[in-house]
Amino acid sequence: MEKVALIIGAGDAIGSAIARKFSERGLTVCATRRNEDKLQPLISEITAAGGKAHGFACDARKEDATIALFANIEKNIGEIDVVVFNVGANVPMGILQTDTRKFYKIWEMACFAGFINGREAARYMVKRSRGTIIFTGATASTRGAAGFAAFSSAKQGLRAVAQSMSRELGPQNIHVAHVIIDAAVDTQWIRENLPNFQDRKDKDGIVNPDDLAANYINLYDQPRNAWTFELDIRPWEENW
């Protein structure tokens, strides 16, 4: 049976790069976004290169939809061997402008959805005694900056979920990892808003999505006697 890489949140930059890398690794890619039409360029690119890829519209916060997604893939496409949870929700706002609806939505997207998808991945992987679950984190996973109370609380919560899952599922031969991207990544928003973007990119001061995605493949390929739980990624010139 085919091995599947399920990418939850296959956006135009990081998520798409991860999907392409897993396709190159020989896995069938299943990619999700809330808007399936936005996945078509990625699916076409992978299939044109000789890979296998399927796109699905799914709101990662919705439990019933997520359960149905996993069941559909397992029944009709193949065994889900790796799940990457890559949902964003990086929405800056001052504490006085953060109402309860906004705070709850950001938590739903960045933390609660991670729990749902991680749990569903584990349901299938535990039965097979193998699998990999990778969560994408951010600078906010370890510290809360001004104007990011909601996002930081959600990302730090997601990191805690990942830590607990890693300790529970590791002894069952399931590798759970958390990737902290503590840097600017070459995305459309960064290109349009970061001062001195081109100069920084020319000096390798901006993370290339394809190079970032290679780290996810490294985690997937690690032998279980030397698993990494957490990777902290930044360009060479960053001060920390």
- 150-167 burial code (b ≥16 CB/10 A, e <16): bbbbbbbbbbebbeebbe
pLDDT digits (tens, 9 = 90+) for 23-47: 999 999 999 999 889 999 999 999 9
pLDDT digits (tens, 9 = 90+) for 58-68: 999 999 999 99
Average pLDDT, the chain: 95
pLDDT digits (tens, 9 = 90+) for 153-186: 999 999 999 999 999 999 999 999 999 999 989 8
CA distance 148 to 228: 28
pLDDT value at 240 more than 80: no
Note the pLDDT of residue 164. Answer: 98
pLDDT value at 223 more than 80: yes
Q: Report domain extents, the chain.
A: 3-232
H/E element holding 214?
A: helix 209-221
Confidence grade of residue 14 (pLDDT, cut at 50, 70, 90): very high
Q: Identify the CATH class of 3-232.
A: alpha beta
CA distance 160 to 74: 28
- Count the neighbouring beta carbons within 10 Å of the beta carbon of residue 49: 11
pLDDT value at 239 more than 70: no
Mean pLDDT of 144-150: 93
Does residue 225 sit in helix, strand or coil? helix
CA distance 105 to 112: 10
Mean pLDDT of 99-126: 97
Quick check: pTM over 0.85?
yes
pLDDT value at 193 more than 90: no
Note the pLDDT of residue 172. Answer: 98
CA distance 173 to 24: 24
Confidence grade of residue 79 (pLDDT, cut at 50, 70, 90): very high
- The end-to-end CA distance of the chain, in Å, is 45
